[in-house]
Amino acid sequence: MKTKHTAPKNIDEYIAGFPNDVQATLEKIRATIKKAAPDAEETISYQIPTFTLKGHYLVYFAAYKNHIGFYPVPLGNAEFKAEMLAYASGKGTLRFPFDKPIPFKMISKFVKFRVKENLARAAKGKKKDGQRF
């Protein structure tokens, strides 16, 4: 039976709902994302921490009983394939088990890759020379 709880209003509230050791890990992931994407904005989407950039979703992360979920990841990117194998758990999702070191460098690389993708998407969405529609 699910317990009823209030959806977090921001990432601080989300993180505060976990034990201290998990809070520390979540804060470090948050700081890693902020460093890799300093212009990204924090929000809550799907009741989990989310970062957006130029109006597009960048990355999400969430704590679960035995792991941290991180998404989306660059699927089909040969450069990252070997690194992701140890953590892959589904389409576009990585699971970082609490009983293993969290790969903060890998998270940073993925976020930087997603920043490039988002900036390219935002550039495509811009109108040409004063075009209004």
pLDDT tens per residue, range 91-108: 778 999 999 999 999 999
The rounded distance, in Å, linking the Cα atoms of 102 and 123 is 33
Q: What is the pLDDT of residue 85?
A: 75
Q: What is the pLDDT of residue 117?
A: 85
Write down the architecture of domain 11-122 according to CATH.
Answer: Alpha-Beta Complex (3.90)
Q: What is the pLDDT of residue 25?
A: 97
The rounded distance, in Å, linking the Cα atoms of 54 and 39 is 9
For the chain, what are the domain ranges? 11-122
- Stated pTM of the model: 0.84
Instruction: Determine the distance from the C-alpha atom of residue 21 to the mean position of all C-alpha atoms in its chain, rounded to a whole number.
Output: 19
The rounded distance, in Å, linking the Cα atoms of 130 and 45 is 33
| DSSP 8-class letter at 50 | E
Give, to the nearest 10 degrees, the angle between helix 104-125 and helix 78-85.
140
Q: What is the pLDDT of residue 119?
A: 86
Counting Cα atoms < 13 Å in the Cβ hemisphere of 49 gives 24
If you compute the radius of gyration of the chain from its CA atoms, what whole number of angstroms results? 16
Token representation of residue 104: 């903060």
* Start-end of H helices in 39-103: 78-85
pLDDT tens per residue, range 30-70: 999 999 999 999 999 999 999 999 888 999 999 999 999 99
Instruction: Determine the distance from the C-alpha atom of residue 78 to the mean position of all C-alpha atoms in its chain, rounded to a whole number.
Output: 20
Q: What is the pLDDT of residue 127?
A: 44
